[in-house]
């Protein structure tokens, strides 16, 4: 970060003294969606922030300047590679700079409480230590390049259902040991310059004003002096949040902190004035720490930074996170010289599945898909392997948007000078007539228009947009045309009203939970004919629709327009099974996508949606060499995993813009997958400890499972998972020597190291992850049930064939501390601790490195 000097601190204090109380208050909310408020007369600049965990989107929520799309957080977590997370952070910082921003709104570090969490793909793990360590490395990478990282969402944002209002009841021990722990680790080892509060309520108080998590823990015990901002529209009070330590309401302009009202209160209350001073000081200091102190240079335009080095990192990172779950008979990697015909099957085989949905999404430089990447790689090897393809089934949750039609020239703007895309025009008034205020050509029919309102429109003025164009289809037949909008809308086809969404009543999951339910019309279309469409979207809020105060307040608009042929999955499955019967190997690419996993809603099941299990069963019945590639950001059921014809299973996660290339690389052995599962894959949803009470009801969610999250539950209760935490195979083999421990006596403020030799006993280069777990062997009188063992350290080692390296994993006495229920402090309890070493959490594969003994109990604040 920018080097802070005594002189700068003195200048900050001098500037603070020069600011009027009104000017100080003006700093406490954003200027707009992505910027802070400047005070030009006092040389206080505005700084810009940008989403998010998988890349720097810039200041346009949909569309916008192209950016690098990195693998999702879960994929980085699966790498178990802190150096890789640091490297990703460094490159993300450069991406942020290319968008003229100074602040990255990432990383997301909440633990996976349930496999259904809609935002699990953004986070690293179900384990707090792994999450905290990876987040710390990511933060260090980002901030080493002069960009501020914003760790989020503080705290316990483990569900998206009713996320703005759900009240989570969490006992103090699991709150400390599971949900606060990643933040505590990253606060100590990464020192993020900013924290973003969560939407939810914890034990009766919203996170932006929570006296326990925000005031007592973050500001008090952890002594965090950096910037605390709200999640977007996540400020819930004017004064309480300020007194609790929330510095910045986002986005702007101020909603809960209007300057005049807060000024009137501050003038009458010294406590409020003191809080205003404290927050204003932290904001000024934050500006200095990102190198913008008194920098009044106008903001430069955003640029696209299509950097080959970054692309190579994304591709390598995807391979390091890919987890090989099964590989019978050495089926993978495929050897083209021994193959004549290979089939690529499945709904994701020709899909560009890069990441989950919501604020982590962006407009990528490019996208890759498995089939094309595989065919290209085969050609590069001068192989004459025949590669056939069949869709197998359709898994779209909604009618697909028309983006691919634009790319293929089948959707164009209206008029004689048409070009690929659709024309978006802005108007005053509700009916999209009169003078056009501004216009643009859109390359996506999924438009979340929350940050693009023309400057000519006053805040409360009625306005509307028109989206228009022409499209054609490849074949005669029945087609579904769909529309979902945030506010009142109508869709016309060739001048006739086809979908009336003007007075809709029901809201669905689209557009961050504020879009209407999708309305679908089925029409007969002819190939070769261009059909004219027009969509009018008005700022009128449907009178019977459930309210959404933030979206109403900013008069947000949004359009999601789709069309696709009507399909029959049973026919697609039958065609796929027929196509693979004479193939030497079949790759079936299945999973989820950004419609099934997204910010603003949770999944309802862990089963693969829309007949994918039926497809796999049919393919396995028709061919004896089946390779499954699953793309998802969390656990899915795999009822076919034991099928003898399913030889290999690869968990590929979401690989960003290089997702297709990563899959091809791993299948052909260009990359040896070295990921380990950062979460447990249960056999079925009901095996998960949160099953009876996730996501709660009546806006209440009780964390009744306590500490029994993820592998802690499966290990302790003896519930056999489909695949355990920490598990992952390789194309080579490894052997661990006899582990040793540096000490047998645990004393206050001491550390211990586990040392073990790791050898690559196979024929190709690969990487192994040494994992250290600790089991408490001395019984205690605790009232809360504790897990039988917990991860306390890990280290990844890369080895050439025949190579041996000595790996050291170090932990401290604080890593063994538990939360003291009686005294309200961290406690290292007297007793014996068995230190276990292995390459997964499976008990049978763990060796005892030694036993630590703590002769007495001691406390940590």
Q: Is 570 domain-assigned?
A: no
Q: How far is CA 597 from the centre of its chain?
A: 9
Ranges assigned E (strand) in 379-476 = 386-390, 411-412, 422-428, 438-442, 446-449, 463-471
What is the average pLDDT score of the chain? 96
637 shares its domain with 776? no
What is the mean pLDDT of the segment spanning 567-580? 97
pLDDT digits (tens, 9 = 90+) for 271-313: 999 999 999 999 999 999 999 999 999 999 999 999 999 999 9
738 shares its domain with 784? yes
Q: Which of 421, 337, 449 is CA-nearest to residue 383?
A: 337
Backbone angles phi, psi at 614, to 5 degrees: -65, -40
459 shares its domain with 536? yes
753 shares its domain with 614? no
Greatest Cα pair distance in the chain: 85
519 shares its domain with 596? no
Q: Is 642 domain-assigned?
A: yes
Q: Is 370 domain-assigned?
A: yes
636 shares its domain with 676? yes
What SS3 state is found at 318?
A: helix
552 shares its domain with 611? no
Q: Is 170 domain-assigned?
A: no
Q: Which of 822, 674, 819, 661 is CA-nearest to residue 734?
A: 674
Q: Is 669 domain-assigned?
A: yes
Please give the Cα distance from 65 to 362 (Å, whole number): 9
621 shares its domain with 665? yes
Q: Which of 298, 263, 303, 508 is CA-nearest to residue 399?
A: 508
pLDDT digits (tens, 9 = 90+) for 435-472: 999 999 999 999 999 888 898 998 789 999 999 999 99
Q: Is 837 domain-assigned?
A: yes
pLDDT digits (tens, 9 = 90+) for 81-97: 999 999 999 999 999 99
Q: Which of 686, 717, 748 is the last residue of a domain?
A: 717
540 shares its domain with 460? yes
Terminal Cα-to-Cα distance of the chain (whole angstroms): 29
pLDDT digits (tens, 9 = 90+) for 45-78: 999 999 989 999 999 988 899 999 999 999 999 9
CATH assignment at residue 764:
2.60.40.10
Q: Is the pLDDT of residue 475 over 90?
A: yes
What is the mean pLDDT of the segment spanning 126-139? 98
What SS3 state is found at 739?
A: coil
Q: Is the pLDDT of residue 782 over 80?
A: no
- Residue 857: the pLDDT is 85
What is the mean pLDDT of the segment spanning 842-850? 95
CATH assignment at residue 534:
2.60.120.260
413 shares its domain with 385? no
In the chain, how many domains are there?
Answer: 3
pLDDT digits (tens, 9 = 90+) for 392-411: 999 999 999 998 788 788 99
638 shares its domain with 509? no
- Which amino acids are annotated catalytic? 231
Angle between helices 270-289 and 259-268 (to 10 degrees): 130
- Residue 174: the pLDDT is 97
Q: Which of 530, 565, 600 is the last residue of a domain?
A: 565
Q: Is 71 domain-assigned?
A: no
422 shares its domain with 496? yes
Q: Is 342 domain-assigned?
A: yes
Domain of 638? Answer: 308-392+575-697+709-717
Q: Is the dihedral of CA 454, 456, 462, 467 positive or negative?
A: negative
CATH assignment at residue 642:
3.40.50.1700
What is the mean pLDDT of the segment spanning 6-14? 97
Q: Which of 537, 565, 593 is the last residue of a domain?
A: 565
**Peptide bond before 333: cis, by omega within 30 degrees of 0?**
yes
Ranges assigned E (strand) in 31-97 = 49-50
**Peptide bond before 253: cis, by omega within 30 degrees of 0?**
yes
């Amino acid at each position: 970060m920018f080097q802070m000097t005594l002189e700068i601190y003195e200048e900050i204090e001098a500037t603070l003294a020069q600011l009027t109380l009104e000017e100080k208050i003006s700093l406490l909310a954003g200027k707009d969606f992505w910027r802070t408020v400047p005070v030009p007369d006092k040389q206080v600049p505005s700084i810009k922030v940008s989403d998010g965990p998988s890349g720097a989107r810039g200041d346009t929520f949909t569309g916008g300047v192209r950016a690098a799309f990195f693998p999702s957080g879960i994929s980085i977590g699966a790498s178990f590679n802190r150096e890789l997370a640091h490297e990703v952070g460094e490159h993300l910082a450069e991406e942020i700079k290319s968008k003229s921003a100074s602040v990255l709104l990432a990383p997301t570090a909440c633990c996976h409480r349930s496999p259904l969490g809609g935002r699990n793909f953004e986070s690293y793990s179900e384990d707090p230590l792994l999450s905290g360590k990876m987040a710390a490395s990511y933060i260090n990478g980002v901030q080493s390049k002069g960009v501020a990282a914003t760790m989020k969402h503080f705290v316990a944002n483990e569900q998206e259902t009713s996320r703005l209002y759900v009240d989570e009841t969490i006992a103090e021990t699991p709150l400390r040991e599971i949900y606060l722990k990643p933040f505590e680790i990253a606060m100590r080892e990464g020192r993020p310059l900013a924290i973003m509060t969560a939407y939810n309520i914890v034990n009766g108080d919203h996170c932006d004003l929570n006296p326990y998590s925000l005031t007592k823990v973050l500001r008090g015990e952890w002594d965090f002096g950096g910037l605390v901002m709200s999640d977007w529209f996540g400020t819930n009070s004017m004064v309480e949040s300020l007194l609790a330590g929330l510095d910045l309401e986002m986005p702007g302009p101020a909603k809960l902190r209007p300057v005049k009202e807060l000024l009137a209160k501050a003038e009458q209350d010294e406590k409020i004035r003191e809080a205003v001073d404290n927050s204003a000081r932290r904001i000024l200091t934050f500006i200095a720490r990102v190198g913008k102190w008194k920098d009044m240079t106008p903001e430069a335009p955003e640029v696209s930074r299509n950097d080959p080095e970054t692309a190579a990192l994304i591709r390598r990172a995807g391979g390091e996170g890919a987890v090989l779950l099964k590989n019978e008979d050495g089926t993978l990697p495929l050897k083209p010289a021994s193959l004549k015909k290979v089939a690529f099957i499945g709904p994701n085989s020709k899909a560009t599945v890069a990441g989950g949905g919501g604020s982590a999404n962006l407009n990528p430089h490019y996208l890759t898909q498995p089939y094309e990447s595989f065919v290209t790689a085969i050609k590069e090897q001068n192989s004459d392997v025949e590669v056939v393809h069949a869709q197998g089934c359709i898994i779209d949750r909604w009618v697909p948007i028309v983006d691919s039609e634009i790319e293929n020239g089948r959707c164009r703007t209206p008029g004689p000078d048409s070009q690929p895309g659709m024309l978006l025009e802005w108007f005053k008034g509700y009916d999209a007539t009169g003078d056009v205020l501004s216009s643009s050509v859109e390359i996506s029919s999924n438009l979340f228009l929350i940050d693009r309102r023309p400057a000519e429109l006053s805040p409360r003025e009625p306005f509307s947009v028109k989206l228009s164009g022409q499209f054609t289809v490849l074949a005669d037949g029945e087609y579904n045309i769909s529309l979902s909008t945030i506010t009142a809308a109508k869709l016309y086809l060739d001048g006739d009203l086809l979908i009336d969404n003007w007075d809709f009543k029901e809201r669905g999951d689209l557009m961050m939970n504020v879009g209407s339910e999708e309305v679908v019309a089925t029409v007969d279309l002819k190939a070769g004919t261009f059909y004219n469409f027009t969509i009018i979207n008005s700022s009128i809020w449907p009178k019977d629709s459930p309210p959404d105060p933030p979206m109403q307040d900013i008069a947000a608009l949004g359009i999601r327009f789709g069309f696709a042929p009507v399909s029959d999955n049973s026919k697609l499955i039958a065609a796929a099974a027929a196509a693979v019967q004479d193939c030497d190997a079949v790759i079936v690419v299945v999973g989820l996508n950004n419609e099934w996993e997204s910010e603003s809603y949770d999944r309802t099941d862990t089963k693969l949606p829309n007949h994918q299990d039926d497809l796999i069963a049919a393919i396995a019945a028709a061919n004896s060499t089946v390779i499954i590639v699953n793309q998802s950001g969390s656990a899915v059921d795999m009822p076919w995993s034991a099928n003898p014809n399913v030889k290999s299973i690869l968990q590929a996660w979401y690989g960003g813009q290089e997702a297709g290339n990563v899959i091809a690389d791993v299948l052909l052995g260009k990359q040896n997958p070295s990921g380990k599962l950062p979460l447990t894959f249960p056999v079925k949803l009901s095996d998960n400890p949160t099953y009876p009470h996730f996501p709660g009801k009546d806006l209440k969610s009780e964390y009744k499972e306590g500490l029994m999250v993820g592998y802690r539950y499966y290990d302790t209760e003896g519930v056999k998972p489909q695949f355990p935490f920490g598990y992952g195979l390789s194309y080579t083999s490894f052997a661990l020597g006899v582990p040793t421990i540096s000490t047998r006596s645990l004393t206050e403020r001491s550390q211990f190291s586990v040392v073990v030799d790791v050898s690559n006993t196979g024929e190709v280069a690969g990487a192994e992850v040494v994992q250290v777990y600790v089991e408490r062997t001395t019984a205690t009188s605790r009232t809360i049930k504790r897990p039988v063992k917990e991860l306390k350290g890990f280290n990844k080692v890369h080895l050439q064939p025949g190579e041996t390296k000595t790996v050291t994993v170090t932990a401290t006495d604080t890593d063994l501390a538990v939360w003291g229920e009686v005294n309200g402090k961290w406690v290292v309890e007297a007793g014996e601790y068995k230190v276990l070493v292995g390459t997964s959490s499976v008990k049978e594969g763990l060796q005892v490195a030694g036993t630590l003994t703590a002769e007495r109990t001691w406390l940590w604040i």
